């Protein structure tokens, strides 16, 4: 039986991918740094993408890999991709819908400049370029903002009922379950090779509306309060977030333009319409109570 390796298996998307593959009877293996945190009921092998040599045991007998890159640059990616290329035939990469299509094309070739508007999108563009130039068959999933990112607001919601942070341009926020549904489908079959899919939710929604939807889900009024970037930086650093991550996130807040992109790709591939953010909030209300 074909075995699929899932990286990022303890995260919001990766855990859903594992569950869907396992439910479909696919042989699935997870790459984790600590096997005690791995999803239950599937094989777990310890390894670290930061140390390519540790990946070898996890790749034995694997045909396809679901790759979530957990770093802020693609600097360490070439040796990881070299290891993958020696062992597997296909890779499915979770990218961002914010990647400018003019920055990297289906052949992995730079256009005029190949530069992105912020560090996170630049990371994904760099990773796409490396993957599409590798010897592996590939599929890229460019996901919009993931709905489960709002779990980072839970403490503020419970404590004060106010989410304070920098404003970020609205986008068509996508449910991680929908991203996982597409990922599982693509991983299980090879007919998606060479495709780049943009995955979004069904509507463009800003932070204030997301907070309101969570309030409706938990049954009490909540509000979003925009704060200056410097204040947001101080809070994020005080919360213990790595400085490089803070700067990347704040750069994104300042440079990303409003996106009106809404795709029907989720429904076209899975047969089910993409869930709204309100649906996600209703299903995860307990996370904010």
CATH 3.40.50.720 fits 3-147+173-199, yes or no: yes
Identify the pLDDT of residue 104: 43
Cβ neighbours for 39, distance < 8 A, ≥ 6 positions apart:
9, 10, 15, 18, 19, 30
Buried b (16+ CB within 10 A) or exposed e, 214-253: bbebbeeebebeebeeeebbeebeeeeeeeeebebbbbbb
Q: What is the mean pLDDT of residues 92-104?
A: 79
Separation CA 187–CA 226 (nearest Å): 40
Identify the pLDDT of residue 105: 42
- Residue ranges covered by each domain of the chain: 3-147+173-199, 149-171+202-260+275-288
Q: What is the mean pLDDT of residues 176-196?
A: 95
Look at residue 238 and tell me whether its pLDDT is greater than 90.
no
Look at residue 112 and tell me whether its pLDDT is greater than 50.
no
Look at residue 108 and tell me whether its pLDDT is greater than 50.
no
Read off the pLDDT band of 157 (50, 70, 90).
Answer: very high
Separation CA 56–CA 83 (nearest Å): 7
Please give the share of the chain, as a percent, with pLDDT higher than 70: 93
Structural domain 149-171+202-260+275-288, CATH architecture = Alpha-Beta Complex (3.90)
Tell me which of 40-54, 170-184, 228-242 is least confident: 228-242
Please give the share of the chain, as a percent, with pLDDT higher than 90: 75
46 touches 55 (CB < 8 A): no
Read off the pLDDT band of 260 (50, 70, 90).
Answer: confident
Separation CA 80–CA 137 (nearest Å): 16
Look at residue 103 and tell me whether its pLDDT is greater than 60.
no
Q: Which residue has the tokens 């802020």?
A: 72
Look at residue 4 and tell me whether its pLDDT is greater than 50.
yes
Identify the pLDDT of residue 255: 66
Look at residue 10 and tell me whether its pLDDT is greater than 90.
yes
Give me the chain's average pLDDT, please.
Answer: 91
Tell me which of 96-105, 127-136, 209-218, 232-241 is least confident: 96-105
**pTM to 2 decimal places:** 0.91
């Amino acid at each position: 039986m074909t075995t699929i390796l899932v990286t990022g298996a303890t995260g919001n998307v990766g855990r859903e991918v594992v569950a869907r593959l396992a439910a479909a009877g696919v042989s699935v293996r997870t790459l984790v740094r600590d096997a005690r945190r791995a999803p239950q009921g599937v094989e777990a092998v310890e390894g670290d993408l930061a140390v390519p040599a540790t990946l070898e045991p996890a790749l034995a007998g694997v045909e396809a890999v679901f790759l979530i890159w957990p770093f802020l640059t693609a600097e360490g990616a070439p040796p990881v991709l070299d290891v993958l290329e020696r062992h597997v035939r296909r890779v499915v990469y979770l990218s961002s819908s914010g990647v400018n299509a003019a920055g990297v094309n289906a052949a992995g070739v730079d256009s005029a400049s190949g530069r992105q508007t912020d560090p996170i999108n630049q990371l994904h563009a760099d990773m796409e370029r490396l993957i599409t130039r590798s010897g592996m068959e590939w599929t890229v999933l460019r996901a919009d903002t993931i709905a489960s990112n709002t779990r980072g607001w839970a403490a503020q919601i419970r404590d004060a009922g106010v989410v304070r942070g920098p404003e970020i341009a609205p986008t068509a926020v996508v449910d991680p379950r929908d991203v996982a549904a597409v990922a599982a489908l693509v991983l299980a079959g090879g007919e998606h090779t060479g495709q780049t899919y943009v995955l979004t939710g069904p509507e463009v929604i800003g932070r204030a509306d997301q907070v309101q939807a969570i309030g409706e889900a938990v049954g009490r009024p909540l509000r979003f309060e925009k704060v200056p970037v410097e204040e947001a930086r101080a809070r994020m650093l005080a919360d213990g977030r790595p400085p490089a991550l803070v700067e990347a996130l704040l750069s994104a807040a300042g440079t990303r333009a409003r996106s009106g992109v809404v795709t029907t790709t989720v429904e076209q591939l899975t047969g089910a319409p993409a869930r709204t953010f309100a649906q996600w909030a209703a299903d995860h209300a307990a996370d904010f109570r």
